[in-house]
């Protein structure tokens, strides 16, 4: 077996999850495992179950599963709905497609609002569908907050207003897997009934934990829900979570990391975290625009603070380009998914990242264009640098 030569420096992981894990979180996870029925574990359990609520901006329950975000998707549907129930979903990208496929597989009837994968969920279309549903057959509206395949962010405040304007009793379910800890999320204020998220994106942790914030309305719906569930049942989790424990063996090492991740976000300040993501996203978009390339998200209203999806010119393959960047600069860029496979790549500015990290990534992107022969204008990195320098004083003032 041939052995690859060592590549000095760090690998630039610029995909929208998993994201790089801070040293403080890695160190926290290296502790010895606790007795998950002992008193010390109860302290840890209560700490993370309480602390995670602040990131969702909720006073209600947040359930933590040892699972990926897909597990939380399944929990959201099986705990609130019954076989044959109708759900309204918006196809904003690959992850909306996967959630809809899961709903059908579980025995639900889905009605899909399509898009061209270049915008997020349109609240006006949701309102129109709900107003037409005079018999209230639609039991839930499911939307992806930040669609990582396309770089489009749904305006959840507008979706909430759409449900209210339609006077429709449907549950509002939100996939915040890549927006928690990156974009403003207000579970209570926006009347969200179920919000699901994962550990490996804005939370800066390894994959393995999912989070489900649930409203009182969702808990009430769960009492009549008839879809089968066992591992993902809410009732047993809620009963034991009250004392900081779990009904089965928890992922203790990841919970150590979660406690540290919550502290890191709170130390920076949640609103400062959002502002940092917005600033780095804008710097990235300015680079793309200066290169003369196209951003997949066609409406600035829906720009994502977590990831920018870049369309490559006709006649060029995005995956071949990504390989050139990886081979030459040790940087991983996100692949195009489904409808945009080979047509686009993704630059993440998500999680534990800063100005120099993003500028380094953009430098690799621009050099990659040269090597791949992708037509572009010079100066994308310079445009990003100028924006970051121009806004530096504002960042200092906000932190003071």
* Binding-site entries for substrate: 346
Rounded Cα–Cα distance for residues 253 and 271 (Å) = 28
Rounded Cα–Cα distance for residues 23 and 257 (Å) = 10
Q: What are the backbone dihedrals phi and psi of residue 93, each rounded to the nearest 5 degrees, phi first? A: 165, -170
Evaluate the omega torsion of the peptide bond into residue 64 and state whether it is cis, within 30 degrees of 0. Answer: no
CB 388 within 8 A of CB 362: no
For residue 3, with 0-12 CB atoms within 10 Å meaning exposed, 13-18 middle and 19 or more buried, which class applies? Answer: exposed
Segments in the chain forming alpha helices (H): 23-29, 39-56, 69-78, 94-105, 123-132, 156-166, 216-222, 234-241, 252-268, 270-291, 318-329, 355-372, 380-399
CB 384 within 8 A of CB 362: yes
Sign of CA dihedral 214, 220, 226, 228: positive
């Amino acid at each position: 077996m041939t052995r690859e030569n060592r590549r000095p420096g760090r690998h630039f992981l610029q995909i929208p999850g998993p994201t790089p894990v801070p040293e403080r979180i890695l160190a926290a996870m290296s502790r010895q495992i606790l007795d998950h029925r002992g008193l010390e574990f109860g302290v840890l359990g209560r700490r993370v179950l309480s602390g995670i609520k602040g990131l969702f901006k909720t006073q209600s329950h947040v359930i933590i599963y040892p699972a990926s975000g897909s597990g939380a998707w399944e929990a959201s549907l099986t705990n609130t709905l019954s076989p044959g129930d109708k759900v309204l979903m918006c196809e904003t990208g690959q992850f909306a497609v996967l959630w809809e496929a899961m709903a059908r597989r579980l025995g639900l009837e889905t009605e899909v609002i399509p898009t061209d994968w270049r915008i997020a969920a349109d609240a006006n279309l949701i309102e129109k569908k709900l107003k037409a549903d005079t018999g209230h057959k639609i039991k839930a509206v499911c939307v992806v907050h930040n669609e990582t395949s396309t770089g489009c962010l749904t305006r959840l405040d507008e979706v909430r207003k759409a449900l209210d304007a339609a006077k429709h009793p449907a549950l509002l379910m939100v996939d915040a897997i890549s927006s928690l800890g990156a974009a403003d999320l207000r579970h209570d204020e926006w009347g969200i009934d179920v919000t699901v998220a994962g550990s490996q994106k804005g939370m800066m942790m390894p994959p393995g934990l999912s989070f489900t914030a649930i409203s009182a309305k969702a808990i009430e719906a769960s009492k009549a829900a008839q879809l089968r569930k066992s591992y993902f049942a809410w009732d047993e989790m809620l009963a034991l979570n009250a004392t900081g424990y779990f009904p089965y063996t928890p992922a203790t090492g990841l919970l150590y990391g979660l406690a540290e991740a919550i502290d890191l976000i709170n130390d920076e300040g949640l609103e400062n975290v959002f502002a940092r993501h917005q600033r780095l996203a804008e710097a990235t978009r300015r680079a793309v625009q200066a290169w003369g390339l196209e951003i997949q998200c066609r409406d600035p209203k829906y720009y994502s603070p977590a990831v920018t999806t870049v369309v490559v010119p006709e006649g060029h393959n995005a995956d071949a380009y990504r390989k050139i960047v990886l081979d030459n600069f040790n940087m991983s860029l996100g692949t195009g998914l489904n409808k945009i496979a080979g047509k686009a790549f993704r630059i993440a500015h998500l999680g534990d990242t800063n100005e120099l990290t993003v500028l380094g990534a953009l430098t690799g992107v621009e050099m990659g264009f040269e090597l791949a022969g992708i037509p572009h204008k010079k100066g994308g990195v310079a445009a990003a640098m100028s924006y970051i320098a121009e806004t530096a004083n504002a960042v200092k003032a906000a932190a003071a």
